[in-house]
Chains A and B, each alone.
Chain A
Amino acid sequence: MQSTKQTSAPKHDDEHGENLLDHLDSTQEDAAEQTHFGFKQVAKDQKESMVADVFHSVAAKYDVMNDLMSLGIHRIWKRYTIDCSGIRPGQKVLDLAGGTGDLAAKFSRIVGETGQVTLADINHSMLMVGKEKLTNMGIMSNLNYVQANAEALPFPDNHFDLVTMAFGLRNVTEKLNALASIYRVLKPGGRLLVLEFSKPSSEMLSKIYDTYSFHLLPKMGKLVANDSESYQYLAESIRMHPDQETLEGMMKEVGFEQTSYTNLTGGIVALHRGFKF
């Protein structure tokens, strides 16, 4: 079942930019601090390369494993995200942490020749797999590829009508920095959609899901991709990711308004929405 919650954020004020800069400065000072990598504690400046290693390892089998792990339901979640995007021909879309380009392919069809889709990912291997897949699908003219860190997006201010991030935010070291960076590149009236694993709403489902992800998932990873550790990290990183309410709060904190979220498949995944006005 899907359940949606919506609350209004306070108006974005002029002081907000300064607060954000202060926050960014303080996070830079904290570079030597610890952060989580799955259940492990690692130095903040190490997480990026460790996550990169995981995705270098799984890139080739990423689509197969997604279908296998979610029994194909990830396609429905992505379609739901597209249906929530309100995107129109001629608009500009940034598919952040776009990986193998499932969302970018659909958006490219919708925005047409007059629109533009940018597929961005921090991981070169994932980006190359995505590029090859989309080129084979004949999608080229309105699509470009950028290797970019979500925390410091290399795009002008007020540039995109829509930014999507599917199953990527939990791997970002400083999530607030990434959300602030996305806020900056969105046009006024633009929206952010974050599709990410979240907290199941029922205790029963949570137990089943835990058993599945900690016992079955690494075994499937070992069997199909010959890599159980990466899929162990996947399960752990999902548990360490902020729950629905916390993530919505973070979106509000960087300035997003009219924020809301929809639980998909009992909260295993949640789609968060926020607007920049």
Chain B
Amino acid sequence: MYQAQVVTSAIEFAMNKILSLDEDSGVLLQPLIGKQCEIKLHELAFPLVFNFHSKGVAVSSIVNDGSEQIIAQTPQAKSQNKNQCAIRLSVFIINELKDTSNITRLIREHKLDFDGNLQIAQNMSALFNGLNIDIEEILSKHVGDIAAHNAVQSADSLGQFIKRNHKTAMQALSRVILDDKPIGVRPIMVENYIQEVSEVRDAAARLEARLAILEKQAKVTASATAGKSTGQDS
């Protein structure tokens, strides 16, 4: 219920807060003013629409009520393309987009779809990559210079520690995957095993049926023999 509205509201608040922390964000924002970028993440049920203005960004969504088709038919909808762009992608490839040489490959692999003015997306990327937020300066206003400096130093050390250990962990993981792959159970082995089990089960069923028939025949033979011997006796 109102998931899209709550999410867009939170994103708008966070983005405007971040932009307000960099006094020079206005310069980066300038080429985006009046532009609209619609981002559809595969993992999210609704699109995010970013509308840039001189003070920041307004984030909204689009409620799919079938009216988009109606509006798409109007001439003014088509004439807005220079102020708009639409991107469809997975949240997992956002990191790959930092290297622009990946874009062609991602489009070819249908992991990224693009429509409209590419410049808007590039300016949007430049805005967030170009932000220079002096956290120490901001913190010092609230907790004092020394505490702010110590906090930022500690955060930096923690970040480096995580980065270093993350790298080591990833290396260990890839070694495990590469070294242990041959002895791990592969899907084809599982399939073969399942096939063999069902063959054995079928053979057992056939044997059971054959035994039942033989048992029945043996009973018939035994009763016939018993009948004959009784007749001879009388």
**Which of B68-76, B125-133, B201-209 contacts the other chain?**
B68-76
- Whether a CB of chain A sits under 8 angstroms from the CB of B62 is yes
Indicate whether B55 reaches chain A with its CB closer than 8 angstroms. yes
A189 within 8 A of B: yes
Q: How far is the CB of A244 from chain B (nearest CB, A)?
A: 15
The verdict on A138 contacting B54 (CB below 8 Å), with A86-B71, A88-B36, A260-B65 known, is yes
B65 and chain A: residue at smallest CB distance: A84
Interface pair A91/B76, CB less than 8 Å apart: yes
Instruction: Tell me which of A1, A110, A191, A273 contacts B1 (CB under 8 A).
Output: A1
Judged by a CB distance under 8 angstroms, whether A4 is at the interface is yes
Q: Smallest Cβ distance from B103 to chain A, in angstroms?
A: 25
> Across the interface, which residues of B come within 8 angstroms of A42, CB to CB?
none
Interface string of B102-128 (1 = CB under 8 A from A): 000000000000000000000000000
Chain B residues near A191: list those with CB within 8 A: 67
Q: Tell me whether A138 and B55 are in contact (CB under 8 A).
A: yes
Are B34 and A76 touching (Cβ within 8 A)? no
Given A84-B65, A89-B84, A112-B34; A79-B60 close (CB under 8 Å) = yes
Is A128 part of the binding interface, using a Cβ–Cβ cutoff of 8 Å? no
- Residues of the B chain whose Cβ atoms lie less than 8 Å from the Cβ of A258: 67, 70
Name which residue of chain B comes closest to A277, CB basis.
Answer: B70
Interface 9-mer from B3-11, B137-145, B169-177, B226-234? B3-11
With beta carbons under 8 angstroms apart, the residue of A1, A79, A109 that contacts B8 is A79
Nearest A residue to B74 by beta-carbon distance?
A189
CB-nearest residue of chain B relative to A4? B65
Tell whether, in the assembled complex, residue B84 and residue A76 are in contact, meaning their CB atoms are under 8 Å apart: no
Consensus secondary structure, chain B interface: mixed
Total A-B Cβ pairs within 8 A: 91
Closest to B8 in A: A79
With A79-B8, A112-B33 known to touch, is A86 a contact of B1 (CB < 8 Å)? no
A129 to B55, CA, bound (A): 21
Knowing A109-B58, A273-B67 touch, does A80 contact B5 (C-beta < 8 A)? Answer: yes
A89-B36 in contact (CB<8A): yes
Known contacts: A106-B60, A110-B58. The answer to whether A86 contacts B5 by CB under 8 A is no
* Interface residues in A104-139 (C-beta closer than 8 Å to B): 106, 108-110, 112-114, 137-138
Residue B30 CB within 8 A of the other chain? no
Tell me, in angstroms, the Cα distance from A262 to B33 when the chains sit together.
33
In the assembled complex, the Cα of A79 lies from the Cα of B62 at a distance in Å of 10
Output the least CB separation between B48 and chain A (Å).
11
Q: Mark A1-16, 1 if CB is under 8 A from B, else 0.
A: 1101010000000000
Residues of A contacting B53 in the complex (Cβ-Cβ under 8 angstroms): 108-109, 112
A275 within 8 A of B: yes
Q: Could you give, for residues 25-43 of chain B, a 1 whenever the CB lies within 8 Å of some chain A CB and a 0 otherwise?
A: 0000000011110000000
User: Could you say which residues of chain B place their CB within 8 Å of the CB of A86?
Assistant: 62, 67-68, 71
- Whole-angstrom distance between the alpha carbons of A189 and B8 in the complex? 27
14 inter-chain pairs at a CB distance below 8 angstroms, sorted by A residue, are A76-B2, A76-B6, A76-B9, A79-B2, A79-B5, A80-B63, A83-B5, A86-B68, A88-B84, A89-B35, A90-B80, A108-B53, A109-B53, A110-B58
Q: Which residues of chain A have a CB within 8 Å of any CB of chain B?
A: 1-2, 4, 6, 75-76, 79-80, 82-84, 86, 88-91, 106, 108-110, 112-114, 137-138, 161, 189, 191, 258, 260, 262, 273, 275
Q: A82-B60, A113-B34, A273-B65 are in contact. List 18 more A-B contacts (CB 8 A).
A: A1-B1, A2-B2, A6-B66, A79-B5, A79-B9, A79-B60, A83-B62, A84-B63, A84-B65, A88-B83, A88-B84, A89-B34, A89-B36, A112-B34, A114-B83, A161-B76, A189-B70, A275-B67
Q: Which residues of B contact A (CB under 8 A)?
A: 1-2, 4-6, 8-9, 33-36, 51, 53-55, 58, 60-63, 65-68, 70-71, 73-74, 76-77, 79-80, 83-84
